Structure formats: structure tokens, C-alpha cells
Structure 1
Amino acid sequence: MWKRFLTKFGIGGAKVDLMLHRSHVHLGETLEGEFWLEGGSVAQHVRALDVLLELEMQAEGKGYRQTAAVIPVASSFTIQPGERKKLPFAYKLPLHLPISRPTVRYTFVTRLDIANGADAYDEDAIEILPPLALEQTFAAFAALGFREKPASGRITRYGQEFSFFPTGEFHGIVQEVEFLALVETEGVRLHMEVDVCHRAGGEREMKRELFLPLESLRDLETAVRLIRDALEETVQAAGAIDSLEPHHWPLSSSPFYGHSGSHVPPVSRPHHGGSGWAGAIGGFAAGMLTGMIAEELLDDVIDDVADDVADGIDVDDWFDGGDGFDGGDWL
């Protein structure tokens, strides 16, 4: 009787521990592991064993936490005193989740729902990595001398925004590059905002759409050349300088990138017209957040962030207004 009384307060009750095979996983991949259950001092009825995928993010100095998924594992079983059980765990990461960044973190919270007793919990941090095509895009920016800013990866109404600053040849010419990335079947489409240091003083914000085909991303040198050409054209269009000195890239492909040949596809340009801007936003909403919004994931959080950042966000507030975005210029 006394032991059963104590288990109501979690003393001498059953325990659970999720042992993951790895602590990181790419979007779309399956993460596997095992649950280790250990009975307490008395027999206990478990109503459910499930796992919550918890998303934590920082925005405008505030912290937000939201349940991104509930993963049911088992229900209605009894665990005897001192009994040990091992159950398999497997979960395929949805493609529409934001990836991990300093401002975006994930935790698996394992919950053992015990009838007439205190529930048992276990927490395991995981890192959600980008799809390979987006990872290759980041690698190309890094090879070009760009580094991610600490606030890169913040979640906006239109998708996850990544921000980079130059340390190489664009240092002193480009202040910052921000982009939303839509991973498509044939490649990665970037909607960029480039802050160009103007020769007359100050900076000019330029908008640029760039499509990076998969075959180009597989070759690091080709991907770097595409991004560099796009940035050079953007800088020239902003009137910052007349031209950039030609640069030869002594780059070798990374071991995990294949070679796709020497052909360099042309840099894509945005279309001027009524549907270009709204179409871009619609594309990102469909590609990055529709799955989440459809499942009511992050909806309230994003609304809270939007309310804090700006009242009445319109189509020109593509980057949420957090860094003083005022519409910029199309290239």
C-alpha cells in the first residue's frame, strides 16, 4: 500500500529512456532508436507511450515552444515491478519543418502516461539538418567567403530566412545576403535580398531570384560561379561599382559532391510584373510552411512573432520587417 502511494508522486515508479542511434537527421530521413522501460516498485498500468517533437525558437528577444508532432508508440499495457522492456522507435522527419539553427532547436520528449501515478518523461535534443541540395547551397556560399550570421534561420511568415555576411572578395561591397530557399524537384530556388554598399555612401537593398539546378550544386565550383555571377550582376545593377575583377576559383569538389560537367546554366532572373512578387511569396508559403500551417504547427507562434515585429504585414514586407526591410529594388 505504501509503495503504491509513493508511486502516485513518482517515487519508485516506472522509468523510460529513449536511446537514439544518432542525434542528428536530415529532413525526409528516418531517425531510429529504442525505448528502454524499467518497472518500479509496484505493477503499473501504462495508458500510452508517445513522443512529442518539441520546437523551440527565438524571435525578437522572445522564446517560443510548440509541439510540432505527436508520435504514438504503444498503448494500454502493464509493466511489472523491476521488469525491463525494449521497444523499437522509428520516425520519418517531415519535409516542411524548419531546420535547426541557433534560433531554432528541437527536442524529443518521451512521455509514459501512467494510470493513477505520476507520468515518466525523458528528453533528447536532436539536430534537424537541411536536405542535401540546401546543404550544398550553404557549402557554395561558404566557399565564396560568406559566413552565417548568429540570427540566421529565423522563422518568418513566408518561410525560414537565412542571412550571411561576406569575408572574402565581396567584403566591403556587399553588407549582407538574406534569402528564402525553396527546394524543388530540379534544384534550389533562392529569393535573395542583397544589401549592397553604395559608393555614394549608405547601402542599397536589391532583390534577386536565383535558381541553382541540382547538377550544378553537385559540383562545388560550378555552384560558386553561379552565385558569384548573380552577386556581381546585383552589385553592378545597384551602382556600387562599375565592375568586379575577374576571379579564378582554385576549388576542388568536396568528396561527397559529384562532377556534373563544365556547362554552367545561365543565372535566372526574376520576372517583372504583377505576379512576380506575390508569386514568390506564394511559392515559399507552399514549399516551406503549408504543411505546417495545414497541421496547425507554428501558426499561433508565427502570428505572435508577426504581431511583435510589425502590425499589418503586407506583400512588400517579405523579410518580416525585422531588419528594416523597405521593399528594395528588383534586379
Structure 2
Amino acid sequence: MWKKFLSRLGISAAKVDLVLHRSHVRLGETLEGEFLLEGGSVAQHIRNLDVVLQLEVQAEGKAYRKTAAVIPVASSFTIQPSERKVLPFSYTLPHHLPISRPTVRYTFVTRLDIAAGVDAYDQDAIHILPPTALDQVFSALAALGFREKPASGSITPYGQEFSFFPTGEFQGIVQEVEFFALVEGEGVRLYMEIDVRHGFGGEREMKRELLITHEQLRDSAAAARLLREAIEEAVQAAGAFGQLSGHPLATPHSPIYSHPVGHYSPVHHSHHGGHGWAGAIGGFAAGMLAGMVAEELLDDAVDDVADGLDVDDWFDGGDGFDGGDWL
């Protein structure tokens, strides 16, 4: 009787531990592991065993959590005193999730729902890597001397935004390169904002759209060349070409567009910057959130930051990611 009473308080009760085969996984890949269950001092009925993939976003100095997925594992079974069970775990990461960055983190929260007792929990952090095509874009930028900023990967009303600063040939000419990325069947489409130094202490924001095919991405030199051409053309269009003395300018092979991204209808625009992303992408959730019901997460984040809510106010335990894959 005493043991049963203690088990209902969570003392000497059943435990669960999720052991992952690896903690880093790329979007679209399958993550595997095992659940290690250990019985307590008395037999206990388990109503459910499930896992929640929890997304945490840092914004405006606050943390916001949202359920990215609920993964049911098992239901309605009994674990005997001191019994040990091993159950397999397998989960394929959807293509539409934001990737891990300093401001974007993921945790698997395992819950053992114990009837007439205190539930048992386990937490395991995972790191979601970018799809290979986006990784190749990052590598091409690195080959040009660009380094990712600490705040890169932040969630915005238009998707996940990446930001890089120059350390090589463009240092002193380009202030920053920011972009949203959309992986398509043909390749990766970048919606870029290139901040070009202009005048004494000023800068001009140049908007560019660039499609790099998968074939070009597999050739690291070709991908770097396309990015260099787009950046050089933006510098020239900003009126800063005089700063590139001794630096070969090339004519870009990719079209320069400004249009609502969701329409995918290329329309040439003037090379002058100054318009905001709202005009450039028309409210479409580009970036790593494209193809999913991104508005719920992004609108909630923007509204909650404005209202000053904290983590507990925002976390509702629901599944906010019920859209389809976007590749």
C-alpha cells in the first residue's frame, strides 16, 4: 500500500529515457533511437507514450515555444515492477521546419502518461541541419569570404532570414547580405537584400532575386561565381562601382526581379533600392517556413512580442505545423 502511494506521487515510479542515435539531423532525414522504460516499485498502467517536438524561438530578448509535431508511440499498456522495456523510435523531419540557429532551437519532450500517478518526462535537444542545397549556398558564400552573423536565422513575418557579413574581397564595400531561401525542384531561389556602402557613412539596400540550380550548386565554384556576380552587380547599381577598383566586374547571368514572391512571375524592376521587403515579397512566407502554415507561428510571434507575453503565455501545446511539405 505504501509503495503504491509513493508511486502516485512520482516516487519509485516508472521512468522513461529517449536515447537518440544522433543529435544532429538534416531536414527530410529520419532520426532513430530507442525508448528505455523502467518500471517502479509497483505495476503501473500507462495511458500513452508520446513525444512532442518543441520549437523555441528567441525574439526581442524573449523565448517563445511552439509545438512543431506530436509523435504518438504507444498506448494502454502495463509496466511491471522493475520491468525494463525497449521501444523503437523513428521520426522523419519535415522539409518545412526552420533550421536550427542560435535564435532557433528544438527539443524532443517525451511524456509517459501514467494513470493515477505523476507523469514521467524526458527532454533531448536536437539540432536541425539545413537541406543540402541550402548548405551548398552557405558554402559558396563562405568561399567568397562571407561569414554568418550570430543573429542569422531569425524568424521574421516573411520566414527565416539569414544574414552574412564580408571578411574578404567585399569588406569595406558591402555592409551585409541578407536573404530568404526557397528550395524548389530546379534549385534554390534567393531573395536577397545587399547593403552597399555609399557615400560617407551611408548605405543603399539593393534587392535581388537569384536562382541557383542544383547542378550549379554541386559545382561550388559555379555557385560562388553566380553569387559574386549578383553582389557585384548590386554594388555597381548602387553607384558604388568606383570602390571596386582593381576588382573585375561581371555581367550577372541571373535576372533581377521585384515582385510578389508567391506569384513567381519575373518582372524586371529598376536597379534603385529603398523599398522594403513588404513590397518585394508581398507578404509571402518565404524562406525555410514556406509551404507550411507559417502564418500561425509568425503572426503569433509578432503579436506576442508586441503584447509583451512570455513563454508560458504563448505555449498552447497545440500542433502549429500542419501544412504540407514545400520541396
State the TM-score, normalized to the length of structure 1.
0.82
- Cα distance change on mapping 1:221 and 1:96 into 2, 3 Å: same
1:292 to partner: Cα distance = 3.6
Alignment partner, residue 281 of structure 2? 280
- Cα distance change on mapping 1:189 and 1:175 into 2, 3 Å: same
What RMSD in Å do the two structures reach over aligned CA positions?
2.5
1:236 to partner: Cα distance = 0.6
Per-residue Cα deviation, 1:175-228 (whole angstroms, up to 9, x for no partner): 111111111111111111111111344111111111111111101111111000
Query: Secondary structure of 1:41's partner?
Result: coil
User: In 2, are the aligned partners of 1:13 and 1:42 still within 8 Å (CA)?
Assistant: yes
Alignment partner, residue 36 of structure 2? 36
- Cα distance change on mapping 1:108 and 1:144 into 2, 3 Å: same
In 2, the alpha carbon distance for the partners of 1:44 and 1:194 equals: 60
Query: Secondary structure of 2:230's partner?
Result: helix
- Cα distance change on mapping 1:183 and 1:305 into 2, 3 Å: farther
Structure 2, unaligned runs of 5 or more: 268-277, 309-327
Aligned residues: 292
1:66 to partner: Cα distance = 1.1
Alignment partner, residue 254 of structure 1? none
| Mapping 1:18-29, distance limit 5 Å | 18-29=18-29
In 1, the alpha carbon distance for the partners of 2:72 and 2:259 equals: 48
User: In 2, are the aligned partners of 1:66 and 1:301 still within 8 Å (CA)?
Assistant: no
Query: Secondary structure of 1:235's partner?
Result: helix
Does structure 1 residue 291 correspond to structure 2 residue 301?
no
Per-residue Cα deviation, 1:62-100 (whole angstroms, up to 9, x for no partner): 111111111000000000001011111111111111000
Higher relative contact order (CA 8 A, sep 6+): 2
In 1, the alpha carbon distance for the partners of 2:199 and 2:256 equals: 24
Alignment partner, residue 85 of structure 2? 85
Alignment partner, residue 329 of structure 1? none
Alignment partner, residue 120 of structure 2? 120
Alignment partner, residue 100 of structure 1? 100
- Cα distance change on mapping 1:282 and 1:28 into 2, 3 Å: farther
- Cα distance change on mapping 1:26 and 1:281 into 2, 3 Å: farther
- Cα distance change on mapping 1:244 and 1:117 into 2, 3 Å: farther
Alignment partner, residue 168 of structure 2? 168
Q: Give the counterpart letter for 2:145 in structure 1.
A: G
Per-residue Cα deviation, 1:244-291 (whole angstroms, up to 9, x for no partner): 53469xxxxxxxxxxxxxxx9922311569976767345545972441
In 1, the alpha carbon distance for the partners of 2:147 and 2:238 equals: 22
Query: Secondary structure of 2:292's partner?
Result: helix
User: In 1, are the aligned partners of 2:191 and 2:210 still within 8 Å (CA)?
Assistant: yes
Query: Secondary structure of 2:86's partner?
Result: strand
- Cα distance change on mapping 1:140 and 1:287 into 2, 3 Å: closer
Structure 1, unaligned runs of 5 or more: 249-263, 309-331
In 1, the alpha carbon distance for the partners of 2:216 and 2:291 equals: 28
State the TM-score, normalized to the length of structure 2.
0.83
Alignment partner, residue 321 of structure 1? none
